[in-house]
Structure 1
Amino acid sequence: MEYAKELEIACLAVQRASLLTKKLLDAVDKGSLDKSDATPVTIADFAAQSLIIAAIHHVFPEDDIVGEEDSKTLRVEPDLLERTWELVSTTQLQDEKSEALLYAPTSKEEMLRLIDLGAQGSCKPQGRSWVLDPVDGTASFIQNQQYGVCLGLVVDGKQKLGVTGCPNLNLESGQVHEDIVDRSGYGYQVFAVAGQGAWLRQMSTGALLVASKIEPKTQITQPEDIRFVDCRAATSSCWETHQRLAENLNASWPPRTDLWSAQLRYIAIAAGGCNVLVKIPRKASYRSKVWDHVGGMLIAEELGCIVSDLEGKPVDCSLGRTLSGCHGMIIGPSSIHARLVEAVKQLQ
């Protein structure tokens, strides 16, 4: 199977990092602080980034790695550094064979250098770039709600692999709810390889469990069959405009699934009963970060959805650390995607 080795390492690395984040969920103080862009970050973000990069860089040392965080804060905050190192140095898979396939930093300084490998990376038109978001949805992670541990591989600007760990994901109802979490297990992992479909497995503390293939999305043609996933609290997209779109289409509103994490919205499409995601920015200049969408987009595509900007153009993943050529997004089954694009154009 193409990319078999990459997939195995990525799935193991994401599972290990997911276990790390679960260890911190019970902590009253998650070591959180605000970054310069006013978004929160915790020691789980730093620790998970270092563990994922350690595993990927050890096996694929020539590959570029694009991560959200850098080590500047840890280098000037000794207490946070110590707590981050404690998480990193005590987290490992309980299956020896699986853990032996990975690598972990052996010192605080190596941990900091690995974090900064991600800060230095940038997706380019040629070559291989791993893209990761160690904790997507940090604000909801702090509240013990839904969040993702995300890793994707982009080759020559094209997504080839995506793995999203969802440590709090509870699918007993067949939907993804922000506040209904997995309290007894370790959630699920959703992954895809280009041309090979999308898959779902429960996560564990040891070896990878057997995965089951996710059925492609039903190719709907009627707007009344649209099931949106959205986020009312999002500051970058416009809930009111999304509502007008739904009303113009005569589609159901408000969405039954409201999630803060951008990557978990793709998981809601894959496994949570939703089938359409539209992101119309409040500001014309807004562009998404590449780590908020790489991997998740591939999962949606492998299930029969089209992912585009608001004009219906494909998303280019080779333009650096942001999706700089992509204004807004429309994700939906191929059978209704063109109608969604036209409906968005009519709003303008």
Structure 2
Amino acid sequence: MDPSSTPYSKELQIACLAVQRASRLTKRVLDAVDKGALDKSDSSPVTIADFASQALIIAAIHRVFPHDDIVGEEDSKALRRDANLLKRTWELVSSTHLDDEESEKLLYSPCSKEEMLDLIDLGAQGTCSANNRSWVLDPVDGTATFIQGQQYAVCLALVENGRQKLAVLGCPNLNLETGRIHEDIVDREGGGQQIFAVAGHGAFMRPMGTHGLLDARKIDRKPQITEIKDLDFVDCAATTSSDIGMHSRLAAHLGAPWPHSTDLWSAQLRYIAIAVGGCNTLLKIPRKASYRSNIWDHAGGMLIAEETGCTISDLAGNPVDCGQGRTLAGCYGMIVAPASIHGKLLQGVKEIL
């Protein structure tokens, strides 16, 4: 199927181009770190990449869809306080373009520092509700691993009335030569991969470059396993929000393989690991009963996992509602697994909790 023939084809084209351009921007920051132009021990490269990526994505989306809400992680307060940080961010935003003239014409860039700041703040002011249309973005998901030159993602999703309709994730360092995603096995020669999905029409993947959009291939759906022994977990040992000890306990309770085969810091990359990286299961049992995830850490990635054959629910088995603000307010924890075995995981969670 040609992804351009699916519903939301215009939204998909703009989103894919915007994410590719922002991904190129983040690669430029990493190149500056590698060449010693920016200090790796300083947090400013991450800050610059976050702000600049958010500004470019919102500029492109807001120009074409001015009535849509936009939910972004960042606001401009730090830039308004720090003239040097503002200058460096503006230099990056104003000089990052796609090399293909026709593709770049479809996008928009801010014309001044003040416009850039206002665009960033559009993201800080946005929210998702049960009756609006909202773009959700995380300009750099995985900031800690980004600055180390490891895996991270540039994320954009379209949510309508609380339901994900479109997802585009740019993974600039994604390298699948081993069939698995690993923090330290990165694409150093190219631009990584872009994974995208339209609800009800499957998920696709294409290499990212510096020009226009390259051809995409459809991602195969996950095998529908029924045996616990075939579970293959992706997780994060360093996580501060999830109780990985409980994850281990659930695996032991079920008789499932453990420890997890793939460890990734970026929450969004864990969905990509399920879609294309050999894993098939993700569990999130929060450390605190009050914990709720930010929507930008999951919107988009969830849709890609669903479009490759997974069922996603909270720990009580309820569908995830993306229409309750800037967090997944009604969602306590998460189970992501092939539809055929999701019920067994859900039952196991209820037993150990």
TM-score by length of 1: 0.97
- Aligned mates of 1:178, 1:309 — CA distance in 2: 27
Contact 1:30/1:42 (8 A) holds in 2: no
- Aligned mates of 1:32, 1:240 — CA distance in 2: 32
Please point out which of 186, 209, 227 is paired with 2:214: 209
Please point out which of 227, 232, 236 is paired with 1:227: 232
Structure 1 unmatched ranges of 5 or more: 35-39
- Aligned mates of 2:20, 2:133 — CA distance in 1: 22
Q: CA deviation at 1:33?
A: 4.0
Distance change in 2, residues 1:41/1:205 (3 Å): closer
Q: 1:176 aligns to what? A: 181
Q: 2:339 aligns to what? A: 334
- Aligned mates of 2:298, 2:254 — CA distance in 1: 26
What is the number of residues matched between the two proteins?
Answer: 343
Structure 2 unmatched ranges of 5 or more: 1-5
Contact 1:12/1:98 (8 A) holds in 2: yes
1:117-156 maps to which residues of 2 (within 5 A)?
Answer: 117-156=122-161
Distance change in 2, residues 1:18/1:184 (3 Å): same
- Aligned mates of 1:100, 1:255 — CA distance in 2: 44
Contact 1:31/1:80 (8 A) holds in 2: no
Please point out which of 112, 115, 133 is paired with 1:110: 115
What SS does the aligned partner of 2:312 have? Answer: strand
Q: 1:247 aligns to what? A: 252
Matched, 1:272 2:265: no
Which string of whole-angstrom CA distances, capped at 9 and with x for unpartnered residues, describes residues 143-178 of structure 1?
Answer: 111000000000111100000000000011111001
Matched, 1:317 2:327: no
- Aligned mates of 1:149, 1:249 — CA distance in 2: 35
Query: Aligned partner of 1:56: which letter?
Result: I
Q: 1:288 aligns to what? A: 293
Contact 2:46/2:147 (8 A) holds in 1: no
Matched, 1:23 2:28: yes
TM-score by length of 2: 0.96
Q: 1:81 aligns to what? A: 86
Q: CA deviation at 1:32?
A: 5.2
- Aligned mates of 1:29, 1:96 — CA distance in 2: 33
Query: Aligned partner of 2:95: which letter?
Result: T
Contact 1:147/1:168 (8 A) holds in 2: yes
Which string of whole-angstrom CA distances, capped at 9 and with x for unpartnered residues, describes residues 89-124 of structure 1?
Answer: 110000000000000001111000000000000001
Q: 1:304 aligns to what? A: 309
Q: 2:169 aligns to what? A: 164
- Aligned mates of 2:244, 2:254 — CA distance in 1: 15
Q: CA deviation at 1:339?
A: 0.5
List structure 1 runs of 4+ shifted beyond 2 angstroms: 28-34
- Aligned mates of 1:261, 1:107 — CA distance in 2: 32
Distance change in 2, residues 1:51/1:31 (3 Å): farther
Identity %: 69
Q: 1:196 aligns to what? A: 201
- Aligned mates of 1:310, 1:167 — CA distance in 2: 32
Q: 2:350 aligns to what? A: 345
Query: Aligned partner of 1:79: which letter?
Result: N
Q: 2:18 aligns to what? A: 13
Query: Aligned partner of 2:61: which letter?
Result: I
Which string of whole-angstrom CA distances, capped at 9 and with x for unpartnered residues, describes residues 55-94 of structure 1?
Answer: 0000000000000000000001111111101110110000
What SS does the aligned partner of 2:291 have? Answer: coil
